[in-house]
Structure 1
Amino acid sequence: MSAVVLDADGNEVEPQRVVPRRVRLPRAALDRLAELSGVPSPAAQMVSSSGSLDGLGDRLGGAGTAPSQEPADPAAPVAPEQTDDLLVAAGLLDGDTPTEEGGAVLTVWHSPVLAVELEMLVTLARGRVRVRSWHRNLDDWVVCLSTADGATFELSWLAAEDWWLELGRAAWVDTRTLSAAPDVEPLPDVVETSWDLLLATGEAVQRRRFELLDQMVSDYTGMTLAGPDTGSLETADDADVRRWHEQLESSARGRLHAAVMGRSERGRAGAGIVEWVLFHDGWRSLTPFRRDGWNMVRIERREPTDLPRALAVLAAEVTS
């Protein structure tokens, strides 16, 4: 059964179809479109955000070992006529007036029912790259805005039914371009370990206090489980636990933080978080849980296509 859309007079109207587009624009063009529409600039919101890669996720992967990518100047002057030409070519502006499509993009951005904000930090052979990709959903529309330097943005809009493709794309990294890491055995597909132990061993490796690792691990003997899947976990030896914890701090080459925000049918605000860590053999998710009164974390192998599924679960939770 198809939904019927009515106008203010009760007449049936054809719902606006989302024609997917993807365009690259300088920040000045996005600022200009927002100015002509009388709303805050989406680009300015992203650039001014303090970011969310902190705490444990900020430490994993030795992000400070490679030089940071120098950001471009987001305030570089661009002539108004140049920005207008870019917006016209993108189908967002007609003269000095935003097109119907341009207006819809900004409406979705500023009035979403569901928002997903992804931030990814990856250490490549050429340096460290930080990418933000913010997604907004309203009815059948999804608007996505991404940037790696705060100066050049990729703006896209698409139908909600195709959103999962864009979310999976956001998590794809060519692991061949990552910076070198110690040549060690891969982690098991699933590792469940103490959250406190993960924090403590990570701090010890950061400070190069490797002599503390054996004692730390022995304090939690028998608590770490590992295996090919969650249904086949076995207690790990302390020697393996020590090696895995050292790997988590020294061998990871990226991290992804995704926040899902929405409102339930009762109007209550809700949020959910996804944290992933990147190694040369792919992504691992970090999922906190409780076991026998202990704070634990499950470290599990993931594929980019698993991200839309994880975010969909959180979206259902925050909007239910």
Structure 2
Amino acid sequence: MSAVLLDAEGNEVEPRRVTPRRVRLPRAALDRLAGLGGVPSPAEQMIVSSGSLDGLGDRLGALGQEPAPAEPPGDEPAAPVEDLDALLTAAGLLDDGAPTAEGGAVLTVWHSPALAVELEMLVSLARGRVRVRSWHRNLDDWVVCLSTADGTTFELSWLSADDWWLELGRAAWVDTRTLASASGAEPLPEVVETSWDLLLATGEAVQRRRFELLDQMVSDYTGMTLAGPDLDSLETADDGDVRRWHEQLESASRGRLHAAVMARSERGRPGAGIVEWVLFHDGWRSLTPFRRDGWNMVRIERQEPTDLPRALAVLAAEVTS
């Protein structure tokens, strides 16, 4: 007799096929699981990736395509195989020396996703700089996520696609109280629209500590920068404010988030979309390129971690259309 799942109104609903789980594993355990499954290690892919979009099609795989066989193993893992197998068994990924149904699903989703999101975050904390990578793979109702800050210890999770937005928002959360200090940092307006070329030029000048060049750079683009509390209330900014904001964008930022959304279009062609955010002591700001009157512009707008899933969903719709 099989159980029947009912909703609040008493209607029968289809039960979830994915039981969410989150585990911490050493890289050797992930390599071991992949080796037993006959596929390349997800951990190895993350470590060797340069973060560029080269080889996009290879990273996506193809629906229904068998994953490429694993490369012959190199050095033996430092931990005994028995210990690795015990970790994988406790995580529900291995049983009697072979991947379980969940373990096999994790490897299949990872190597043949319909949609992929790769996030990389570099943050300057009071204790030093930290680089975190979090890669997400989606196939049907399954989402598999793998994250690491040191390339040695990984957090592996799998969940239903309905809950993916929670995991994406979690990936962008940073406790701003732990950020490295920034002297003279003032809050930026909620929205700033400025020249992309000016942003690049002033950023380079600040990096080289050529502050005497900023006034001339800003004056070359007088009247082009708009600012305000929202998109419907933008006004032309004074050059003095523009100079101060551009200097802050380079000197007071304490983190960067780069997210790439990758998928195949209806014609099977791989495509990608990019989200770029900058972190300050009062939170995130997105950098969104656009065109205005023939000029390359960038919109710098306040964002919350919960805004990231929405931005990525828009890009996913674009690259799959």
TM-score computed with the length of structure 2 as normaliser = 0.87
Q: 1:82-231, aligned counterparts within 5 Å?
A: 82-231=83-232
Query: Which whole-Å CA distance do the structure 2 matches of 1:212 and 1:136 have between them?
Result: 45
Matched to 2:281, the amino acid is: H
Query: Which whole-Å CA distance do the structure 2 matches of 1:82 and 1:144 have between them?
Result: 23
Query: Which whole-Å CA distance do the structure 1 matches of 2:52 and 2:190 have between them?
Result: 26
Query: Which whole-Å CA distance do the structure 1 matches of 2:210 and 2:199 have between them?
Result: 14
Query: Which whole-Å CA distance do the structure 1 matches of 2:105 and 2:92 have between them?
Result: 12
Query: Which whole-Å CA distance do the structure 1 matches of 2:120 and 2:319 have between them?
Result: 20
- Determine helix, strand or coil for the equivalent of 1:231: helix
Deviation at 1:200, TM superposition (A): 0.5
Q: 1:1-320, aligned counterparts within 5 Å?
A: 17-52=17-52, 77-320=78-321
Deviation at 1:165, TM superposition (A): 0.2
Query: Which whole-Å CA distance do the structure 2 matches of 1:238 and 1:265 have between them?
Result: 47
Deviation at 1:51, TM superposition (A): 2.5
Q: How has the CA–CA distance of structure 1 residues 37 and 207 changed in structure 2, closer, same or farther, with 3 Å as cutoff?
A: same
- Determine helix, strand or coil for the equivalent of 2:130: strand
Query: Which whole-Å CA distance do the structure 2 matches of 1:37 and 1:27 have between them?
Result: 15
Structure 2 residue runs of 5 or longer lacking an equivalent are: 1-13, 54-74
* Deviation string, structure 1 residues 70-107 (Cα, Å, up to 9, x no partner): xxxx9971111111000000000001110001000000
Q: How has the CA–CA distance of structure 1 residues 168 and 155 changed in structure 2, closer, same or farther, with 3 Å as cutoff?
A: same
Deviation at 1:184, TM superposition (A): 2.8
- Determine helix, strand or coil for the equivalent of 2:286: strand
Matched to 1:134, the amino acid is: W
Query: Which whole-Å CA distance do the structure 2 matches of 1:171 and 1:184 have between them?
Result: 22
Query: Which whole-Å CA distance do the structure 2 matches of 1:219 and 1:263 have between them?
Result: 42
Query: Which whole-Å CA distance do the structure 2 matches of 1:88 and 1:184 have between them?
Result: 50
- Determine helix, strand or coil for the equivalent of 2:156: strand
Deviation at 1:183, TM superposition (A): 2.7
Query: Which whole-Å CA distance do the structure 2 matches of 1:184 and 1:32 have between them?
Result: 47
Deviation at 1:180, TM superposition (A): 0.3
RCO comparison, higher one (Cα < 8 Å, 6+): 1
Query: Which whole-Å CA distance do the structure 2 matches of 1:184 and 1:76 have between them?
Result: 47
- Determine helix, strand or coil for the equivalent of 1:50: coil
Matched to 2:30, the amino acid is: L
Conserved 8 A contact 1:52-1:257: no
Query: Which whole-Å CA distance do the structure 2 matches of 1:36 and 1:148 have between them?
Result: 25
Q: How has the CA–CA distance of structure 1 residues 100 and 306 changed in structure 2, closer, same or farther, with 3 Å as cutoff?
A: same
* Deviation string, structure 1 residues 171-196 (Cα, Å, up to 9, x no partner): 00000000000233200000000000
Q: How has the CA–CA distance of structure 1 residues 267 and 279 changed in structure 2, closer, same or farther, with 3 Å as cutoff?
A: same
- Determine helix, strand or coil for the equivalent of 1:265: coil
Query: Which whole-Å CA distance do the structure 1 matches of 2:52 and 2:230 have between them?
Result: 29
Greater displacement, 122-131 / 15-24: 15-24
Query: Which whole-Å CA distance do the structure 2 matches of 1:129 and 1:155 have between them?
Result: 19
Deviation at 1:268, TM superposition (A): 1.8
Query: Which whole-Å CA distance do the structure 2 matches of 1:25 and 1:133 have between them?
Result: 14
* Deviation string, structure 1 residues 50-73 (Cα, Å, up to 9, x no partner): 1259xxxxxxxxxxxxxxxxxxxx
Between the two proteins, what is the percent identity of the paired residues? 86
Aligned pair count reads 287
RMSD value over aligned CA atoms?
1.5
Deviation at 1:124, TM superposition (A): 0.1
Q: How has the CA–CA distance of structure 1 residues 269 and 51 changed in structure 2, closer, same or farther, with 3 Å as cutoff?
A: closer
- Determine helix, strand or coil for the equivalent of 1:187: coil
Matched to 2:260, the amino acid is: A
- 2:61 match: none
- 2:72 match: none
Structure 1 residue runs of 5 or longer lacking an equivalent are: 1-13, 54-73
Matched to 2:313, the amino acid is: A
- Determine helix, strand or coil for the equivalent of 2:232: coil
- Determine helix, strand or coil for the equivalent of 1:310: helix
Query: Which whole-Å CA distance do the structure 1 matches of 2:195 and 2:127 have between them?
Result: 34
Query: Which whole-Å CA distance do the structure 2 matches of 1:136 and 1:83 have between them?
Result: 24
TM-score computed with the length of structure 1 as normaliser = 0.88
Deviation at 1:229, TM superposition (A): 0.6
Deviation at 1:217, TM superposition (A): 0.3
